[in-house]
Amino acid sequence: MESILVIIDAEEDKPLSGQALETLGAAAALSAIVKKEISVGLVGSGDLSKVATALAGAAAKAFTFSDAALKDPGYARDAFAAAKLVKASGAAWVLAPASSRWSRALPGAAERCGGKVDTHITSFEEKGGKAAAGRWYYRQRIFGKILREQGPWFMTIETGSFPKAAVGVGAAPAVTPVAEALPASRSKVLGLRSLSGGKQTIKPDAELLLVAGAGWTKTQKDGVKHAKEAEGLILAFLEKYGASLGSSKAATDLAAEGGEALTFMTQLHQVGQTGASPRHAKGLATCCFGEEPHVVGWRFINERRAIDLNANCGWAQGKADVLYVADVFEVFKELAK
């Protein structure tokens, strides 16, 4: 029977991530258009039936694929398990969170099921009796809606785009375990690594994003550069206010060039056209010069303020709620107090 299958990675005794619940919320939005039932497909380790039970109210059926090797992400194993769940469920629509894990593996599962895949979906709407999936193109610069006639249609759901589904009310889904052996693997997960010298400055769950631009390391009004001082002020701010750090392309490039730069900046910090578009409730841009294409880096920031000496700063005019025309060093010294 055609249904909507939501694929989620799960572990026994671990609560589901907010992203997983948002994907279930997306399934509800899709279900309202296509009028089909929602099932859930759990991939992970341990006894996943417990996790399925906790999804009462959000899904009618649950399919589980459990294997100790699925504790860690890995394309080959994840794509295999997901494809098996899809086949077992007979789903016509397959949704998964646009997490690093499913962004990798879902397209592979789609190909194995003879399906089609689209990613980073942010909305559903009805168009001519069918569901159209909205997403951004050209790195958040052009919005478009996809229509597909062939399925099964696999989609990853962008974080922050749908409300979390309410779970734990109503009947628990009927659980069907899929018992298959994973294929022999030629790869082994060794663990997580941090390349930015142990300083964890990217915090996706933070409420506030601080965008530090190249202006921090440019010549200041006394005619001298103050990169070391800038580093101290930025790190103090991140710590005090629990903020996540982003940077402009110019600032990241400076770090890569080995010039006078903020040493903790890596390519991963970059937001905008050639970087990430993080989602946070608030964003504070500092010393970011008016690089129009990079300003898309904070498209998904709800409340935006900027500090810059230039009143025509492109990050601010028409893009931020408030622009403080001020010396960021002075303001950050005050903020550190």
Partner 1 sequence: MSIDHTYHLVICGSVVPDPLQSLEPVVTQGKPGLKNELMLPMVLDPFVNHSLNEAAKLREATKDTQVHLVAVGPKAKLQQLMMVLAQKTAFNLVAVDAPAGGFIDSHTVAAALAEAIKAIPGLDLQKTLVFGGWSSASRASGTTLQLVGEKLGITEQFFGVDRLTPAADGGFTVLERVEAGQHLETQVAGAPAVIGWATGELPELPNNPKIGMMNMAKIMPAIGKAKAVDLASAGFSVVDTALPAEKRQTRVVKDMPAAAVAAEIKEWIASGKAG
Partner 2 sequence: MSDTSVERQSMEVDIACVGFGPAMGGFLTHLSRGLKAAEASGPIQSPTMPGAPPTVICYEKAEDLALGVSGVETEAKAIKSSFPDFDPASVPMTTWIKKEKTVYLMDPWGASRRPLLVRLADPILRLLGKKHSFTLPVNPPFLHKKGGIITALGQFNQWVAGQLMAEGAVQIWPSMAVEDLLLEKDAVTGVRLADQGVDKEGKPAEGFMPGMDIKAKLTVVGDGPIGSIGRKLNEKLGMPEGRHLWEWAVGMKFVVSLPDDCPLEEGTVIHTIGFPEPEIFGFFYVMPNKMASMGIFVPSWMQTPVRTSYRYLQYWMQHPYLWQYVKGGKVSSFGAKSLLESGIEGEPHLVGDGFARIGEGSGTTNILTNSGVDEAWASGRLLADAVLELLKSGQPFTRENLDKTYVASRRRSAIEKGTRKARHSRDGFRRGFLPGMVGMALAGFTGGLLYVPSREKAPHDMLIDLERYYRDRIPAAELRAMEAECLQKGGTLWEKILPRLGWPEVVFDGALLISHQDALLLGGKVQAVHGYRDHVLFDDPAACEACRTKSCVEICSGQAIARVEGRPVPAFDREKCVHCGACIWGCARGGRGDLAIDSNIAFLGVPGGLHSAEN
CA distance 329 to 337: 13
Please give the residues from 275 up to 314 whose contact with partner 1 meets the rule CB under 8 A: 281-282, 284, 291-293, 299, 303-305, 307, 311
* Site residues (CB under 8 A) for partner 1, limited to 97-136: 99-101, 103-105, 107-108, 110-112, 116-120, 127, 132, 136
Q: How far apart are CA 220 and CA 308, in angstroms?
A: 12
Number of residues that bind partner 2 (CB under 8 A): 20
Nearer to partner 1, 79 or 175 (CB): 79
By beta-carbon proximity to partner 2, the closer residue of 45 and 220 is 220
Contact status: 257 vs partner 2 (CB under 8 A):
yes
181 near partner 1, rule: CB under 8 A: no
Among 144, 163, 168, 259, binds partner 1 (CB under 8 A): 144
Q: Which of 1, 2, 137, 179 binds partner 1 (CB under 8 A)?
A: 137
**Toward partner 1, which CB reaches closer, 91 or 328?**
328
CA atoms of 208 and 234, how far apart (whole Å): 13
Tell me whether strands 208-212 and 280-286 are parallel, antiparallel or unpaired: parallel
Q: Is 219 in the site for partner 2 (CB under 8 A)?
A: yes
Token pair for 153: 């249609």
181 binds, among partner 1, partner 2, none (CB under 5 to 8 A by kind): none
Name the binder of 108 from partner 2, partner 1, none, CB < 5-8 A by kind. partner 1
CA 104 to chain CA mean position, Å: 13
β-strand pairing of 116-127 with 130-137: antiparallel
Phi, psi of 277 (to 5 degrees): -125, 80
**Tokens found for residue 103:** 């962004």
Q: Which of partner 1, partner 2, none has residue 141 at its interface (CB below 5 to 8 Å by kind)?
A: partner 1
Q: What is the rounded CA–CA span in Å between residue 271 and residue 248?
A: 6
- Residue 221 lies near partner 1 (rule: CB under 8 A): no
- Contact partner, 198, from partner 1, partner 2, none, Cβ < 5-8 Å per class: none
Q: What is the dihedral of CA 16, 17, 18, 23, to 10 degrees?
A: -80
Q: And the tokens for 313?
A: 């700063």
